[in-house]
Amino acid sequence: MEKKSIYAKRTDKVQMSSIRIVMEKVEKLRNQGKSVVSLCAGEPDFNTPEGIKKATIDALNDNQTHYSSNRGYVGLRQKVAQLLKEQTTIDYDSDQEIIMTCGCSEAINNTCLAFIDPGDEVIVFTPAFVSYQNTVLLCEGIPVEIPLKASNGFQIDIEEVKNKITDKTKMIIINNPNNPTGAVYQKETLEKLCQIARENNILILADEIYNQLDYENQYVSIASFENMKDYTIIVNGFSKAYAMTGWRMGYIASSQKNIDRILKVHQYTTTSQMTFAQIGMAKAIDQESVKKEVQYMIDTFHERRTFIMEQLDQCDKLSYIKPHGAFYIMVDVSKTGLDGQEFADKLLEYGVAVVPASGFGKDFSDFIRISFASSKENIEEAFIRIKKLLAEI
């Protein structure tokens, strides 16, 4: 008798994160005493603003260590509602239309679990953050990839979207500004995407974690278009712009009927976020000193974007697509005679870690993703090593 499998079949097609694979290689090399400049992770090299840390320590010392509401601490939800009003122009009810989550990853996971049934199709624009396709697969849905073209700056082609819509299409996932391309989608394109969603009763999961990292004031929220609250589920958080990746503090915003569904999943996953961290964030987010630190980080990322493009301009065998947001740049390495995976592997031997873009979509094997969330000094050292590799190829 054949021994039955103990594993869930839904995990068979799920891939390990290409970003985490590179990060583990970096850790292993560093443990061996080797020098590695890491430009692979989407993690700001800044510290969390002092006001947030102090307010959180005060809340901890005040023994705010018990459960908060499943929806999250009401004071923070109120502050998030204010933030959303500024960023999207839409009013969200802090009592009924916002949930605090354990980072954006939980927000994406909970949203997908709440809406995607086996066999449902979900449109994903590639190259895409690694969580989207894999979370859809965990829900036994079908990721429908639409590869974006470097030739038009990785912008969305609405005609291609229309061609992919079927009666099984349940959701469209959009990341704006985008990881890994740095693209910020055009307002006219987003408006047409909203029209498609309304006409076909399709949800849009809008991952807007990088919305404050918009270097040319192009960002427009999907939720801001006419009659889109019921069709839009915003996921966002404080990891990137506030340098709080380890705090795991995210949120979901949508209409009450959508949030009620997601809350059912959230109750049985993380239950609630850390109470003292939520209270600290609520007390500090409006502080002028915190706002200044956040703006300083954003300005610094802007400067690094300019610097990294200047460095790439000195590399004849490398070309890139100018990023307008986030802190990543997609680099075409095909002129080196290597594909993205080969180039990334070879570059790691020279002590620089980047992510092969094939991990973000099968059509992007010629690219690597470089993060400029690291310091200017690290970027400068990385390019000394990159130029050495290019000279020796």
Residue 146 C-alpha from the chain's centroid: 18
pLDDT of residue 1: 65
Q: Return the sign of the alpha-carbon dihedral for residues 22, 307, 300, 305.
A: negative
> In the prediction, which pLDDT does 131 show?
93
Q: What is the per-residue pLDDT for 9?
A: 86
Tell me the whole-structure pTM to 2 decimals: 0.94
In angstroms, what is the C-alpha Rg of the chain?
Answer: 21
> Which of 384, 363, 370 lies closest to 320 in space, CA to CA?
370
What is residue 185's predicted lDDT score, i.e. its pLDDT?
A: 97
Per DSSP, what are the bridge partners of residue 122?
Answer: 143, 171
Are 127 and 180 contacting, i.e. CB atoms less than 8 angstroms apart?
yes
**Alpha-carbon gap, residue 323 to 179, rounded angstroms:** 10
Distance of CA 371 to the CA centre of its chain: 13
Choose among 195, 243, 198, 293: nearest CA to 46.
Answer: 243
Spatial separation of the C-alpha atoms in residues 126 and 281, rounded to whole Å: 33
Residue found by looking up tokens 């979901």 in the block? 252
Lookup: tokens for 263: 């809350």
One pLDDT digit (tens) per residue for the chain, 393 residues: 677 888 888 888 888 878 888 888 878 878 888 888 899 888 899 999 999 999 999 999 999 999 999 999 999 999 999 999 999 999 999 999 999 999 999 999 999 999 999 999 999 999 999 899 999 999 999 999 999 999 999 999 999 999 999 999 999 999 999 999 999 999 999 999 999 999 999 999 999 999 999 999 999 999 999 999 999 999 999 999 999 999 999 999 999 999 999 999 999 999 999 999 999 999 999 999 999 999 999 999 999 999 999 999 999 999 999 999 999 999 999 999 999 999 999 999 999 999 999 989 989 999 999 999 999 999 999 999 999 999 998
Q: What integer pLDDT is reported at residue 102 of this predicted model?
A: 95
Q: Where does residue 297 rank: exposed (0-12), middle (13-18), buried (19+ CB within 10 A)?
A: buried
